[in-house]
Amino acid sequence: MYASIAKPVLFRMDPEHAHHFTINGLKRAARIPGALSIMKKLYSVPRLPELSQKLWGLDFFNPIGLAAGLDKNAQAVEGFSAMGFGFMEVGTVTPLAQPGNELPRLFRLPEDLALINRMGFNNVGTDQMAVNLSSIRERSIPVAVNIGKNKNTPNEEAEEDYRTCIRKLHSYADFFVVNISSPNTPGLRSLQFGEDLKRLLAAVADELSAVERQSGKKLPVLVKIAPDMTAEELETVVGTIAAAAVSGIIATNTTLSREGLRHPNAKETGGLSGRPLTHRSTEVIRTIYRLTGGRLPIIGSGGVFTAEDAYAKIKAGASLVEVYTALIYEGPGLVKRLNGGLPALLRRDGFSHISQAVGADV
């Protein structure tokens, strides 16, 4: 139904218009009696013991999550939860609301099964995000809050923005994701390196400890990294993250590479996501797993369109996997197909539980 009806309509719209149309539709569905029940009947995923995991004290009934950027303002958590996701991210959110970059800023590349975006952390800010998260009536899956800095905040003051996000949203998050890898906020990616990274992670850990002392609630924090690093840079970054009080890594954000693209929109600036990122993100996951000896849980993100794509990331070292662009191209049935295909792949390789497959190729 998505391929024959919904997708042709959405793909005739401007990409960002289609995005808002979808989010608003899911938001309204949560307020219509019976709508979420219908969605669950169509798209829900059976809770299979072999796919269930406990990580960071949280229960994940399946390993497929929604990456940050689709539900930027936590408007459609109940709708996405009804699609069968095992977890999801909201955001990226910044302390102050900001409009993001100028339009147009989102581009489809159908021949490449890809998207390019230069959104620039457009979001409602932490105060309204707190309102949106607190208004969720039914939270059935872990919800991560992806946090960033405002565009006008200098890098030397960035840690205060991340502290503010943690302080204001701690009560509503199941875990945090520190976004220092978007290519669309000037200078943000430099926070991945050297003393900037050490100082930022120390500030994040300090703020988390402070709110934990006040609330008694301990939250995990993950760091999302870029795919566009040399081997030496990646080794250094992973070493710094592993030495800090960090719970895990998300690999990876969008790429600046345009290698092999065919669509004319390849000329647009911004971060590329989708099928062209499949191999590179898996290789980054493999390297992180090797460098950390599998001691730091990884969420794999980038170019997951099939169960085999997800499984490749799991065997490379990812405990969980996120989708974004594939959902745009494949529709809401994607989550069920991914989860439905994983048990057979586990059995094929002689595994009885997903945890046995994590890092098996490494």
Residues marked as catalytic:
182
Sign of CA dihedral 229, 230, 231, 232: negative
- Going by DSSP bridges, is the β-strand pair 64-66/271-274 parallel, antiparallel, or unpaired? unpaired
| No. of helices (H) and no. of strands (E), the chain | 13, 13
Are the C-beta atoms of residues 124 and 132 closer than 8 Å to each other? Answer: yes
Q: How many CB atoms lie within 10 A of CB 216?
A: 7
Structure tokens belonging to residue 338? 């991914």
Q: What gap in Å lies between CA 107 and CA 177, rounded to an integer?
A: 25
Are the C-beta atoms of residues 206 and 162 closer than 8 Å to each other? Answer: no
Q: What gap in Å lies between CA 148 and CA 80, rounded to an integer?
A: 22
Q: How many CB atoms lie within 10 A of CB 50?
A: 17
- Number of residues written out for the chain: 362
Of residues 17, 16, 114, the one with CA closest to residue 329: 114
Report the run of H or E that residue 234 belongs to, with start and end.
Answer: helix 231-243
Sign of CA dihedral 41, 1, 23, 93: positive
Q: What gap in Å lies between CA 201 and CA 107, rounded to an integer?
A: 33
Q: How many CB atoms lie within 10 A of CB 202?
A: 13
